């Protein structure tokens, strides 16, 4: 199911736009930043009342509008380089100088998801994350976000925030996320969790988590990308056949194991599948950005979300060979869509 041009915004072309060479980028002043944690008491949906430590990072001018940026389940509070931490953040390509969310013009807030440290071994709902955001905003003295920009799991959290705490944000940009999980994607994640459980039974926790991540990479990307990158004949290695993509997948698995606790991954993976939001309950402007080729959040689900939002929803579509990971890989074209949506006028709130 594809949106017609008359009904929805134009579909961006499928080829990536080359990013400017970093060597030619003008130097920029260091972005002021602070980070910390707050102690919070959170009434969770499935695990009762819990005492939590919410870790956050806030970067940008103090008088700038606040944008909360939230990513996938493995994302964290360090989204971009700043004076406190000059290392690149997970969303660096979307927050560089001159981008729509340039931290020189925005105050960028990000936090570690509830359960991200692996300390909470209980079901976690996206509603719990939204309630945690509200507690964090209270603690930081932020009455309202100018925008919540959510990618993947972050889009789910943003939708919950829009329903549960609509007064805390002026607009939502939901990228590669919908009001419910697609059954095919949920089945894929269930198998990944079983791989982790099998590894734990065999006292091979790291191997299980690594394999689960490698399976997940196949769902994040597309057959078209793999055909372009790994179209090479297999080789024999120690008497076994090894295909061209295996080195890439092994490296992705090892990198993930080094930074993500298994309990955190399991519980946040479940959280995606627990997610449900009634779009009709959202009463603020939502820009839905979908990727044609996303195997986890099909375009049809984004269309259904936009239709459920009614007059509050606006759909933009990007064609990308990077599938669900387009927001991390196709950053120039994703940024162009973000700039357009951020520039759209806001209707008067009732």
- The string of pLDDT tens digits covering residues 99-125 is 999 999 999 999 999 999 999 999 999
Name the domain boundary from 217, 239, 272: 272
Is residue 324 in a domain?
Answer: yes
Q: Are 145 and 294 within one domain?
A: yes
- Rg over CA atoms, the chain: 20
Query: How far apart, in whole angstroms, are the C-alpha atoms of residue 162 and residue 164?
Result: 6
Q: Are 59 and 154 within one domain?
A: yes
pLDDT of residue 201: 93
Q: Are 187 and 176 within one domain?
A: no
Q: Are 197 and 169 within one domain?
A: no
Q: Are 93 and 196 within one domain?
A: no
Is residue 220 in a domain?
Answer: yes
pLDDT of residue 350: 56
**94: DSSP letter:** G
Name the band, by pLDDT with cuts 50, 70 and 90, for residue 29. Answer: low
Name the domain boundary from 226, 251, 272: 272
pLDDT digits (tens, 9 = 90+) for 131-179: 999 999 999 999 999 999 999 999 999 999 999 999 999 999 999 999 9
pLDDT digits (tens, 9 = 90+) for 48-73: 999 999 999 999 999 999 999 999 99
**Annotation marks residue 24 as catalytic:** no
Range of the domain at 203: 183-272
**Annotation marks residue 152 as catalytic:** yes
CB 174 within 8 A of CB 289: yes
Q: What token pair was written down for 76?
A: 């964290």
Q: Quote the number of domains for the chain.
A: 2
CB neighbour class for 15 (10 Å; exposed up to 12, middle 13-18, buried from 19): exposed
Query: How far apart, in whole angstroms, are the C-alpha atoms of residue 142 and residue 320?
Result: 36
CA separation (Å) from 16 to 13, 21, 328, 330, 332? 8, 15, 12, 6, 8
Please say whether the dihedral angle defined by the alpha carbons of residues 121, 125, 131 and 137, taken in this order, is positive or negative: positive
Q: Are 164 and 189 within one domain?
A: no
Buried b (16+ CB within 10 A) or exposed e, 274-287: bbebebeebebbbb
Name the domain boundary from 212, 238, 272: 272
The dihedrals phi and psi of 245, each to the nearest 5 degrees, come to -85, -10
Please tell me which residue in 152, 210, 271, 320 is annotated as part of the active site.
Answer: 152
Q: For tokens 């990727």, name the residue.
A: 291
**117: DSSP letter:** T
Please tell me which residue in 294, 301, 325, 335 is annotated as part of the active site.
Answer: 294
The dihedrals phi and psi of 173, each to the nearest 5 degrees, come to -115, 115
The pLDDT of 330-343, averaged and rounded, is 97
Q: Are 264 and 162 within one domain?
A: no
Please tell me which residue in 179, 275, 312, 324 is annotated as part of the active site.
Answer: 324
């Amino acid at each position: 199911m594809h949106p017609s041009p008359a009904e929805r915004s134009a579909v961006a072309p499928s080829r990536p736009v080359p990013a400017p060479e970093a060597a030619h980028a003008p130097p920029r002043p260091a972005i002021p930043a602070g980070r910390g944690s707050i102690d919070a008491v959170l009434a969770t949906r499935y695990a009762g009342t819990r005492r939590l430590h919410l870790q956050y990072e806030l970067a940008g001018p103090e008088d700038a509008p606040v944008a909360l940026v939230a990513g996938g389940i493995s994302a964290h509070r360090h989204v971009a380089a700043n004076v406190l931490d000059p290392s690149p953040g997970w969303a660096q390509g979307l927050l560089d100088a001159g981008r729509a969310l340039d931290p020189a013009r925005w105050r960028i807030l990000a936090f570690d998801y509830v359960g991200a440290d692996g300390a909470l071994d209980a079901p976690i709902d996206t509603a719990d994350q939204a309630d945690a955001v509200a507690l964090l905003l209270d603690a930081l003295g932020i009455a309202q976000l100018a925008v919540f920009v959510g990618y993947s799991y972050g889009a789910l959290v943003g939708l919950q925030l829009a329903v549960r705490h609509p007064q805390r944000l002026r607009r939502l940009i939901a990228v590669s996320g919908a009001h419910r999980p697609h059954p095919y994607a949920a089945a894929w994640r269930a198998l990944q969790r079983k791989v982790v459980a099998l590894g734990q039974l065999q006292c091979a926790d790291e191997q299980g988590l690594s394999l689960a991540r490698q399976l997940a990479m196949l769902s994040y990307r597309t057959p078209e990308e793999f055909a372009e990158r790994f179209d090479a004949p297999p080789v024999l290695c120690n008497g076994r056949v090894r295909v061209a993509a295996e080195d890439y997948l092994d490296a992705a698995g090892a990198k993930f194991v080094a930074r993500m606790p298994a309990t955190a991954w399991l519980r946040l993976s479940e959280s995606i599948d627990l997610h449900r939001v009634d779009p009709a309950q959202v009463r603020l402007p939502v820009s839905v950005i979908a990727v044609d080729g996303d195997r986890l959040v099909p375009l049809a689900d984004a269309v259904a979300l936009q239709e459920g939002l009614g007059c509050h929803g606006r759909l933009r579509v990007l064609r990308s060979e990077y599938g669900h990971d387009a927001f991390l890989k196709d950053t120039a074209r994703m940024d162009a869509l973000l700039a357009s949506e951020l520039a759209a006028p806001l209707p008067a709130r009732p």
